[in-house]
Amino acid sequence: MTDKLYYNDGELRAFDARVLSCREENGAYSVELDRSALFPGGGGQEADSGTLNGIPVTGMYESDETVYHILPEPLEPGSAVHGTVDWALRFPRMQGHSGEHIFSGTVHRLFGGENVGFHMGAGEMTLDFSAELSAGDIARAELEANRAVWADIPLRSQLPSDTELRHMEYRSKKELAGRVRIVEIPGVDMCACCAPHVARTGEIGLIKVLDAMRHRGGTRISLVCGEQAYRDYAALHRVNAHSSALLSARRLETDAAVERLLRENEDKHSAITALKRELLAFKAASLPETDGNLCIFEDGLDPVTLRELVNAGVEKCSGICAAFSGSDGNYKYVIGSKSVDLRAVSGEINAAISGRGGGSSAMLQGTSTAGRAVIEAYFKT
């Protein structure tokens, strides 16, 4: 059994211990110490990184209350070791995990929702609650949680006896076996947890909900705390400042400016569509009365407009009206006729104009990889 120094002091960055055992395991060495400040992972939080006598700890695990440190080199049983904790990695994780306790405890106190799932990744944390929380509930819990941070409350950790534990009210995700450690944030939360925590809530700095969605009859929350919340704020500020400059909008009015822009864009789109229709009517009216086939090339027409142009064209010619939009090697086409069964000749047409497509006896639609000269020569005949 290892004396887990992080149970009572999550802020130990270095420690001295004695090697109890060292055995070879899959080409590396599994080292047991009498005490360790390195956290082997658990409760949603990953294992620490660190060193023992300057040798990097490449992995950790726990079995039967004993913490094992995986090293690339062996350590002599009975010898003294000096260990270090990778603080740059550990501290933000503690800020996140302690912040999660505060937020979950606050939701539990205010709305009775249980935290039924917790994941801490490299980015934001996800918390699953059994209760459906409204946007208003979440905003209230977020503010209350931050008030607990600002109150700078000292955390308490204890290993109660079975009898004491039976009389305690605490949050727990599952039935726990063995010694249960309770992490208490007085007035805010009481929870069974095996991970290292900050000493005082003030160290968390900030708790911010990024997103919330319905999940399995409850609510899934994305949360950032501490350093991660700061980094998120800094990134968001950078993006918003850029948007603010581009839109010539005040920094808290960028959303209104984007909405205005979208509305203007929609109006312009409507105006362009109306103009296109006018232009099409004009073009259709000016198509020549043709004895035989009519072949039209127009830039930038969508399939619907192309079809409308062909509908007008078939009235002006006695044969086939074929309309193409695009460029040599990459045309979209619509072909119509009132006199020719197009379905019967679609194979011949596609072969002649390197096309793909089909349709009804009155209208074909498709693409062509031929050049304009080849297409025009075919429809002239």
Q: Which residues bind Zn ion (CB under 5 A)?
A: 43, 193
C-alpha of 37 from chain center: 33
**CB 160, min distance to Zn ion, A:** 16
Q: Please name the residue that has the structure tokens 């006695």.
A: 318
> In the complex, which residue's CB is closest to Zn ion?
193
Please state the closest distance from residue 68 (CB atom) to Zn ion, in A: 21
Cβ proximity to Zn ion: between 43 and 117 the closer is 43
Amino acid at 76: E
CB of 193 to Zn ion, least distance (A): 3
Instruction: Pick the closer one to Zn ion by CB: 115 or 350.
Output: 115
Compare residues 43 and 160 and give the one whose CB is closer to Zn ion: 43
CB of 44 to Zn ion, least distance (A): 7
Q: CB-wise, 149 or 296, nearer to Zn ion?
A: 149
Q: Taking the complex as a whole, how short is the minimal distance between the CB of residue 55 and Zn ion, in angstroms?
A: 29
The least CB distance from residue 186 to Zn ion, in Å, is: 16
Identify which of residues 43 and 59 has a Cβ nearer to Zn ion in the complex.
43
Identify whether the C-beta of residue 320 lies closer than 8 Å to the C-beta of residue 341: no
Comparing CB distances to Zn ion, the nearer of 196 and 355 is: 196
Rounded distance between C-alpha atoms, residue 205 and residue 226, angstroms: 5
**Cβ closer to Zn ion: 159 or 281?**
159
In whole angstroms, the minimum distance from the beta carbon of 179 to Zn ion comes to: 15
